Amino acid sequence: MPVITYRQALNDALRAELTRDKSVILLGEEIGIFEGSYKITAGLLDEFGPERVLDTPIAEEGFVGAAIGAAMLGMRPVVEIMTLNFSLIAMDQIVNHAAKIYGMFGGQTPVPLVIRMPGGGGQQLAATHSQNLEVWFAHVPGLKVVAPATPADAKALLLAAIRDNDPVIFLENLSLYNTKGEVPDGDDVAEIGKAAVAREGTDLTVISYSRATTVALEVARQLAGEGISIEVVDLRSLRPLDRETVCASVRKTSRAVVLEDDWLSYGVGAEISATLMEGAFDYLDAPVRRVAAAEVPLPYAKPLERAALPDANDLIKVIRELLDATSFSPPAAGTAGTST
Amino acid sequence: MAERRKSAAARGKEPAAPAKTGDSGHFPADEPPERLLGYYADMVLIRKFELSADQMYKRAKIGGYCHLNLGEEATVVGLMDALQPSDYLFTNYRDHGYALMRGMTPGAVMAELFGKSTGVSKGRGGSMHMFDTATRMMGGYGIVGGQLPPATGAALALTYRSRPGPDAEVVMCQMGDGTTNIGAFHESLNLAAVWNLPIVYVIVNNRLGMGTTVEAAAGEPELYKRGCSYRIPGERVDGTDVVAVREGAGRALDRARLERKPALLEVMSYRLRGHSVVDPARYRSAADVETAQAADPLPLLRRRLLAAGLMDEARAQDIESEADKKVAAAVAFADSSPDPTPDQLFDYAYASPVANAAHALPGDPAVVIP
Ligand SMILES: Cc1ncc(C[n+]2csc(CCOP(=O)(O)OP(=O)(O)O)c2C)c(N)n1
Ligand SMILES: [Mg+2]
């Protein structure tokens, strides 16, 4: 299987869909001549022309709304918002229009729209340009929200999102674009709403999505060397949420930590914790723990930014605390352990 | 900073026709030579500061996004000289030159770029977010159009506390050409018109928003006309000519000051380089780059001052090495300043302290069981 970047996987998926379906069009700021702020759409203007790849003025509310209208008449627009932060200007169109039109008008007109955008901090872009607002979207019925962690999922979920008949919020992450992974060549379409067990384990489950999944996997690999067996559940889709996969994993491991890049209060971890209360309470050996961003407007200065964002060390610290609190003792170092 | 201007009305000036180039024109007869030399010194300072910022970015002393005023020096200096110290300024993220000309020290601006606690925003904002209450610089803003509604509201506040007149406080709100396409521009101008607000909206038309030309993005590419729907008069001036910019800004500010009415000023400028320091600007044609370089306001003013006999080569070099020294001192100050420390992370979380404010670091439990 070819190994490509997350960026290339997205580019491949867009090219494939533009080729397959004439109703697919791309809209966004700087996606054509400039080839995309993060070069996700590189080459597509040359290949498909300005009728399929539309450079827009800086007018997020306008072009997101226009994409909704085009979708209502049967187009399949894929909108790029340069970063998630700028989607706030389009929020009314996303929440009051894209998410409502199908249901509020009695199911007469679907809105097959994809809005792609990268979020994430850690690049010293300061408070307004570093946000993780996934729960803003995940809270809204009528939207579907996916957040792939790997190049393979990026492609498979983007194909699925474009073919889906509902508005799909497709969350990318700035720090994932250069990551690499195996991606099948063909038409591998994911099922929206399904989590993946990204790594099997028996002692503790880390639940995460997007960039955080790559951190969780790295930590799981590291702790395996100490005989700690971590299962990583990659949510992939935040709405709908695959509660069953999450609960099944924790029923097996009895310990759960959520690693999320958003702010703690009202975050994804809060929803997962509530889900586990309902679906795995009797199996839990200790309360669910959350590792999330400090609740401040993210500062520019590197030492402050680093302190505010969750990283592998924070996750390891919490995993150890949780294992200690539940009297976990690993088997002989070097072998993956079994649970309590 | 050059000596402060008198209001254009006080000098009995007629509005000038939009000039084409800053190269051939004569300086106004009553323009004090020292003031012109001051402009040159200010423009050189911005130029050297920005070139240094570019270097420091490449050395990883500066991170994040970093947008420079290279090519816009005459625009920045002319606009800022037209302001009075009591005026308020809001800008976009391309704000280093404005911060310097408004009176922040090069050291404190560079320290902000370095993310140091001695920076104008205490290292929390970085390049896009210069702020200083003392000089009434109310912020550089990174969200396109974000500064417009707050600037409009600042002008509303002024109507509660001052009367129109030559000393009235007013607001200047700077933005780029691409920003005139966002809803906030139109909503703000309309509010300013219906509320008669003392505000001047300044469009720095550097002909590009990232890689997009004005013609590709604006239904009315003569941007000074975009105030029409709100009956806000617009004027276009040559942004490579510092005096023309100052005079145009003066006329607009007079309208805000004396009549308490909004005005729109379009300053035709050029961006010498990419959108930000990391943009190689491959989308620009060779001809476009050549045009921009030919309009570089620094050599233009230098040549004009030399030709008019107002400055000799030795004086020019003095001015330039003076700027070098200031910038080197700014870098040294920034470099030796302390980093903010993680224990300061929750400082400034709220202006009114609140008992339950979240102070958890990543991985801290949200609730501690007693
Ligand atoms: C709402 C929003 N959309 C998009 C961006 C990304 N962006 C930053 S600067 C810029 C171009 C702005 O161009 P212009 O207004 O002409 O200002 P210039 O950079 O030329 O000074 C864009 C699209 C943003 N910061 N905010
Ligand atoms: Mg511009």
The confidence score (pLDDT) of residue B32 equals 95
- pLDDT at residue B13, as a whole number: 40
Region A146-170: what's the mean pLDDT? 98
* A62-79: pLDDT as tens digits: 999 999 999 999 999 999
The CATH number of the structural domain formed by A3-182 is 3.40.50.970
d(CA B275, nearest CA chain A) in Å: 11
Residues 6+ apart with CB under 8 A from A174: A38, A83, A118, A119, A120, A122, A123
Could A124 and B346 be called an inter-chain contact, meaning their C-beta atoms sit closer than 8 Å?
no
Which atom of ligand 1 has the smallest separation from the CA of B144? 26
Q: With contact defined as beta carbons under 8 Å apart, do A284 and A250 qualify?
A: yes
The predicted model gives A157-180 an average pLDDT of 98
Chain B contact set for A30 (CB, 8 A): 210-212
Q: Quick check: helix, strand or coil at residue A235?
A: coil
User: What is the spatial distance between Cα B218 and Cα B370, in angstroms, rounded to a whole number?
Assistant: 61
Q: Is B216 in the pocket of ligand 1 (CB under 6 A)?
A: no
B317-369 tens-digit pLDDT: 999 999 999 999 999 999 999 999 999 999 998 999 898 888 999 999 999 88
- Residue B24 inside a domain? The answer is no
3-class DSSP state of A305 = helix
Q: What is the pLDDT of residue B349?
A: 87
Instruction: Using the mean position of ligand 1's atoms as its centre, give its distance from the Cα of residue A73 in Å.
Output: 30
- Residues of A that are catalytic: 60, 129
Q: Residue A145 — pLDDT band, cuts 50, 70, 90? A: very high
- The pLDDT of residue A335 is 52
Predicted local distance difference test score (pLDDT) of residue A28: 98
Distance CA B351, CA B355 (A): 12
- Is there a domain that residue B70 lies in? yes
User: Which residue among A34, A82, A93 is best mutated to probe the pocket of ligand 1, counting the most ligand atoms within 8 A of its Cβ?
Assistant: A82
pLDDT in tens, A210-262: 999 999 999 999 999 999 999 999 999 999 999 999 999 999 999 999 999 99
Structure token pair of residue B135? 């000089």
Tally of domains in chain B: 1
Query: Residue B57: inside a domain, yes or no?
Result: yes
The residue whose CA is least distant from atom 17 of ligand 1 is B176
Output the domain CATH number for residue B136. Answer: 3.40.50.970
Taking 50 as the pLDDT cut, the residues of chain B under it are 1-19, 24
Between these two residues, B369 and A41, which has the higher pLDDT value?
A: A41
**Mutant choice from B110, B144, B347 vs A, greatest count of A C-beta within 10 A:** B144
Nearest CA in chain B to A90: B183
What is the radius of gyration, based on Cα positions, of chain B?
Answer: 21
Is there a contact between A300 and B125 (Cβ–Cβ < 8 Å)? yes
Residue whose CB lies within 8 A of the most ligand 1 atoms, among B75, B128, B143, B144, for a mutation test: B144
Q: What is the pLDDT of residue B26?
A: 78
The reply to whether ligand 1 has any atom less than 6 angstroms from the CB of B72 is no
- Do A294 and B210 make contact, defined as CB atoms within 8 angstroms? no
Question: Which residues of chain A form CATH 3.40.50.970?
Answer: 3-182
Query: Per the domain annotation, does B245 fall within a domain?
Result: yes
- For B348, the token pair is 């400034």
Note down the domain range covering B50: 31-344
The residue nearest atom 2 of ligand 1, judged by CA position, is: B144
Q: Is residue B110 part of a domain?
A: yes
The CATH class of the A196-325 domain is: alpha beta
* The pLDDT value given to residue B162: 87
